[in-house]
Structure 1
Amino acid sequence: MSGAEDVDGAVRRWRVLSETAVLLDGFHALKHALRFGATVPAVLTSGKDAALALADELAPDVRDRIAELALEVPAETLRGLVPRAHPTGVAALAVRPDREAQLALLAQERRPAPAVVLDNPRNLGNAGAVIRLAAGFGATGVVTTGSLDPWHPTVVRGAAGLHYATAVERLQVDELPAGPLYALDPEGKDIRSVTLPDDALLAFGSERSGLSAELRERADELIALPMRPQVSSYNLATSVGMTLFHWSTASGRPAAM
């Protein structure tokens, strides 16, 4: 089979897979997805030698897997298959995790670490940044309520492929897993006086309107981050990061390895 036939076949296969698969946009998203067990049926690159050089430098643990999976295609071909070509010249498709398995992780009776709840978030990039933080802290998962799809390509891009390092799902408030729910609210108790349990649900309101009435009613306790007077708010990802850091230091446990 010629190189042109290889490319044509890969493009046809990509187009079929892309109807249901998760787009991993760039080398770093691919690296993280492979590290955390994603099934990756297709990897395309406009420069395989450059991609492998990046792997040698930044991800030698998955270098051989990338070498096995990656197929080099012309840059214009790759640009025609993705919404926006990544500077690393790498794109891949991964199988989305089984929803029932994800929900089982979130619903386990004794979660080893909190789950983050984003109540009706609006900004795709912020949601991605939160998932990246949650993965870094070893959180059990990230749940969104409302219309935002936490597996939207822009969210996956913002999370750098770390959806595969934590459970990520969308639920309604009345479907949230059991466990004590601590909701961040300016009128709440100072978080520094609260010990957050490992099985907590940590809920954050939308960037503009805060917590929904339904989520507020479900909350067991309202807590607040310390903030200088006359400062309106923190960025959503900053708030999540501060809260998870508070949990991790109080629990005395490092992030999951």
Structure 2
Amino acid sequence: MTDPVAAGSDPLGQWRRLADASVLLDGFHALKHAVRFGAEVPVAVTADRRATLALAGELAPDVRDALDALLTEVAEATYTSLVPRPHPTAVAALAVRPSREANLERLGHAPRSTPVVVLDNPRNLGNAGAVIRLAAGFGATGVVTTGTLDPWHPTVVRGGAGLHFATAVERLTVDELPAGPVFALDPEGDDLRGVKLPDDALLAFGSERSGLSAELRARADHLLALPMRPQVSSYNLATSVAMTLYHWSATGGASVPPRERPRGRTARPLED
């Protein structure tokens, strides 16, 4: 991580210089996750420093000191001028996007111990962000998109709550996909419940509207179908990914340690 923004420095000047080439971390949870997973964050601002650090102490004590060093308080009007849509936590930061070379190295590492999720020509930015959040939670190696959607679009990063930095996220062509057996979800495939997914699998999902592309279908080694009641058309993309990753993890996939919570506290959902 870079040195914290020093007292008396010009965070707004830094923001203006870096904004066009940086990843916008929109909200407390995005900044928390980015810092937790080693992102380089040159500038971070909040409209209420005390409240933000109190939130960190409650929900993310492991990164509170790092946030204390990073955060600069600015006027609320200044904060809102820096972001396209103000977040309820009034926190924003800029992070350095991981290099394509580093992500490709992670995706192509062999042997791979967790799957890669492939979104074939996705259309919905929010769905893509939700999938990245899921992949990070299950410890997937990465999320790859094909087609025109930018998986690092600010709306995707917001939907992913900063968890782009917990997994490898890249846009590739079908020909550029990393090695490994491709298990593609398709209504004509075999029932997922009868298949054990290997750790080095590529789990491919088509768009809700058009399904798998011809190129991805030709690359697939196995077609799999999710259990679904007759006359129900489809599942949401993120739901399909969640079901498939859970099946992988429950049938022998690499274990994800159970999440520990302090006693006496209840979970607080992430705000979009």
Looking at structure 2, the residues matched to 243 and 210 of structure 1 have their Cα atoms a distance apart, in angstroms, of 16
Q: What CA deviation, in whole Å up to 9, does each residue of 1:4-50 have, x standing for no partner?
A: x958x221110111111100000000000111011111000000001
Aligned residues: 252
Unmatched 5+ stretches in structure 1: none
Percent identity for Structure 1 against Structure 2: 71
Tell me the equivalent position of 1:74.
75
1:108 and 2:112 aligned: no
Q: How many Å apart are 1:253 and its aligned residue?
A: 3.5
Q: Which residue of 2 aligns with 1:193?
A: 194
Alignment correspondent of 2:216: 215
Q: Structure 1 residue runs of 4+, over 3 Å off? A: none
CA distance in 1, matches of 2:106, 2:130: 21
Letter in 2 for 1:165: A
- Does the CA contact (< 8 Å) of 2:199 and 2:254 recur in 1? no
Separation in 1, partners of 2:99, 2:132: 18
Matched, 1:59 2:60: yes
TM, length-normalised to structure 2 = 0.91
- The superposition leaves residues 27-76 of structure 1 with CA deviations (integer Å, 9 ceiling, x where unpaired) of 00000011101111100000000100100100000001101110000000
Q: Give the residue type in structure 2 aligned to 1:157.
A: R
The whole-number CA distance in structure 2 between the counterparts of 1:55 and 1:193 is 43
1:180 corresponds to: 181
* Secondary structure class of the residue paired with 1:64: helix
Deviations 1:210-240 (A, max 9, x none): 1000100000010000001011100000000
Counterpart code for 1:133:
L
1:133-148 superposed matches below 5 A? 133-148=134-149
User: Is the Cα–Cα contact under 8 Å of residues 199 and 253 in structure 2 kept in the other structure?
Assistant: no
Q: What SS is found at the alignment partner of 1:227?
A: coil
Tell me by how many angstroms 1:256 deviates: 6.2
SS at match of 2:143: strand
User: CA contact under 8 A between 1:138 and 1:256: conserved in structure 2?
Assistant: no
* CA offset digits 1:78-136 (Å, max 9, x no partner): 11111111110100011111111110110112111000000000000000000000000
**1:153 aligns to what?**
154
- Taking the aligned partners of 2:79 and 2:257, their CA distance within structure 1 comes to 36
Post-superposition shift, 1:207? 2.0
Asked if 1:120 corresponds to 2:121, the answer is yes
Contact map agreement 1:137 1:256 (CA 8 A) in 2: no
What SS class does the counterpart of residue 143 from structure 1 fall into? strand
Q: Distance in 2 between matches of 1:33 and 1:252?
A: 26
Structure 2 residue aligned with 1:96: 97
The match for 1:228 is 229
Cα drift, residue 252 of structure 1? 5.1
In terms of fraction of residues, the more helix-rich structure is 1
User: Separation in 2 of the partners of 1:253 and 1:188?
Assistant: 24
